[in-house]
Amino acid sequence: MPTTPRASSAAYTLIELMVVIALIAVLTAAVGLGLRGAGETQALAATGDIVRAQFEAAQARASIQGAAVAVVVNADAADTENYLKQIAVAQQQASGAWVGVDDALQLPGRVRMLVPAEGNSLWQSEVDVQLEPGGVSIPCYLAEYGAAGALAVPGGGSVWWENEDGVRAGLHISRYGAFTVIEGGTPP
């Protein structure tokens, strides 16, 4: 039985091309997910820096001015853009009203603060705060420093934040201002 010689082909078969394209797609997805994870990790770390800076600013202001000062987080669930994503320092006025002393800061990426029921032991109450000068008051969770610069919560406590994937980080703050970063884990 005579065989006809096949002409050698320098071309690739359709299967080979599909395998190569599939490998490229998998590698691209893996790199994309890796970069996304790095961005989320950076957002969690940046949130830690923001939260710590706000607590340090509130403590310093309370000590220097001898007044009640608090770190507040937007608790207005109707404000979907800023709910649990906006943090500020506010000072209690002689009238008892709370007013923001600087611009509120937006948390980075897809990170949000956790509410008191989710383990944040420093959020003492929900109060109305006027975050912007001349603006309307909105509900905010409050962690208060007294006039001597000590947290109103005896022994201190912790605040937690998480990204949309459920990765959490936190900050434990002693009553007099020592900070301990908490990586991962779950709130108590």
In this model, does residue 58 exceed pLDDT 90?
A: yes
pLDDT digits (tens, 9 = 90+) for 156-167: 888 899 988 888
Q: What are phi and psi of 31, to 5 degrees?
A: -65, -40
Specify the pLDDT at position 35. 42
> For residues 101 and 92, what is the distance between their CA atoms, to the nearest angstrom?
10
pLDDT: which is higher, 17 or 8: 17
Q: What are phi and psi of 119, to 5 degrees?
A: 110, 5
Specify the pLDDT at position 55. 92
pLDDT digits (tens, 9 = 90+) for 125-176: 899 999 887 889 999 999 999 988 888 887 788 889 998 888 889 988 988 8
Count of helix runs (H) and strand runs (E) in the chain: 1, 10
pLDDT digits (tens, 9 = 90+) for 74-107: 999 999 999 999 999 999 999 999 999 988 999 9
> For residues 172 and 179, what is the distance between their CA atoms, to the nearest angstrom?
6
Confidence of residue 33 (pLDDT cuts 50, 70, 90): very low
> Which DSSP state fits 19?
H
> For residues 124 and 142, what is the distance between their CA atoms, to the nearest angstrom?
6
Specify the pLDDT at position 25. 60
Specify the pLDDT at position 22. 59
Confidence of residue 15 (pLDDT cuts 50, 70, 90): confident
Which of the listed CATH numbers 3.50.50.60, 3.55.40.10, 3.40.50.720, 1.10.3720.10 matches domain 14-183? 3.55.40.10
Mean pLDDT of the chain: 82
Confidence of residue 41 (pLDDT cuts 50, 70, 90): confident
